[in-house]
């Protein structure tokens, strides 16, 4: 009886360890573009988080841009900076995803630098997306950004459906947009 109990405890611990390792791979590892576009099964809980309000001056045009002009559409919001070592890795997948999803709204936030540096980065990266200037970092802080780049996927009523910290590949973009559309 005692050895059966020890074996049962060992099996439960092993299962918990495998589940934790699988969760870590899913949460941390890059999917290489293979993330599923299908949202998770409903759990009875809301699919989206708090509503996001965001606006500011576009670094390229000087015009006021923000979520208010994007009512009724899911929005992909990426927070970045030219001084961020990982942000250039984000630029190409973001550009390709935006080009392939022209009916989706995109908004980027350049944080903690001047507009000149942001414009140079956008030009060098080939990104032609509305980019809010967040010179003092208040917008990034309000959004809960802890790492650059960070991408938020907002539902059509601008609630956070999904958030990815670090460079996102095309698979992550697809999965995030699917979550935003489902929310």
pLDDT tens for residues 89-126?
999 999 999 999 998 999 999 999 999 999 999 999 99
Q: Is the pLDDT of residue 52 over 60?
A: yes
Q: What percent of the chain has pLDDT over 70?
A: 74
Q: Evaluate whether 77 touches 52 at the Cβ level (below 8 Å).
A: yes
Residue 116 lies in a domain: yes
Tokens of 144: 């809960």
List Cβ neighbours of 131 (8 Å cut-off, separation of 6 or more): 58, 59, 60, 65, 107, 108, 109, 110, 118, 122
Residues 127-157 have pLDDT tens digits of 999 999 999 999 999 999 999 999 999 999 9
In a domain, 7, yes or no: no
pLDDT of residue 48: 61
Q: pLDDT digit string (tens) for 5-40?
A: 656 565 555 454 444 444 333 333 344 443 333 334
Given a cut of 90, whether residue 67 has pLDDT beyond it is yes
Instruction: Identify the burial level of 52 via C-beta atoms within 10 angstroms of its C-beta, where 0-12 means exposed, 13-18 middle and 19 or more buried.
Output: buried
The CATH number covering residue 78 comes to 3.40.30.10
Structural domain of 153: 31-182
Phi, psi of 82 (to 5 degrees): -70, -25
21 in any annotated domain: no
Residue 74 lies in a domain: yes
Phi, psi of 124, rounded to the nearest 5 degrees: -65, -30
User: How many residues are listed for the chain in this entry?
Assistant: 183
What's the structural domain count of the chain?
1
Task: Look at residue 115 in the predicted model and tell me its pLDDT.
Answer: 92
Residue 98 lies in a domain: yes
79 contacts: CB under 8 Å, gap ≥ 6: 108, 109, 111, 134, 139, 140, 143, 145, 148, 149, 150, 151, 152
Assigned domain for 11 exists: no
What's the first-to-final CA gap in the chain, in angstroms? 50
Could you tell me if residue 4 is inside a domain? no
Q: Is residue 60 part of a domain?
A: yes
């Amino acid at each position: 009886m005692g050895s059966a109990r020890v074996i049962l405890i060992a099996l439960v611990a092993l299962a918990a360890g495998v589940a934790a390792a699988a969760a870590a791979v899913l949460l941390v590892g890059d999917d290489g573009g293979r993330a599923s576009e299908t949202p998770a099964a409903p759990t009875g809980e809301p699919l989206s988080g708090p509503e996001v309000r965001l606006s500011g001056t576009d670094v390229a045009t000087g015009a006021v841009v923000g979520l208010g002009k994007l009512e009724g559409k899911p929005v992909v919001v990426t927070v970045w900076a030219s001084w961020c070592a990982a942000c250039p890795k984000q630029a190409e997948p973001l550009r390709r995803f935006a080009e392939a999803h022209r009916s989706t709204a995109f908004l980027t936030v350049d944080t903690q630098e001047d507009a000149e540096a942001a414009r140079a980065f956008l030009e060098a990266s080939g990104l032609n997306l509305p980019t809010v200037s967040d010179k003092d970092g208040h917008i990034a802080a309000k959004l809960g950004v802890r790492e650059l780049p960070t991408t938020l996927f907002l539902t059509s009523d601008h609630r956070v459906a999904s958030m990815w910290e670090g460079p996102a590949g095309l698979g992550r973009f697809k999965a995030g947009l699917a979550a935003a559309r489902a929310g």
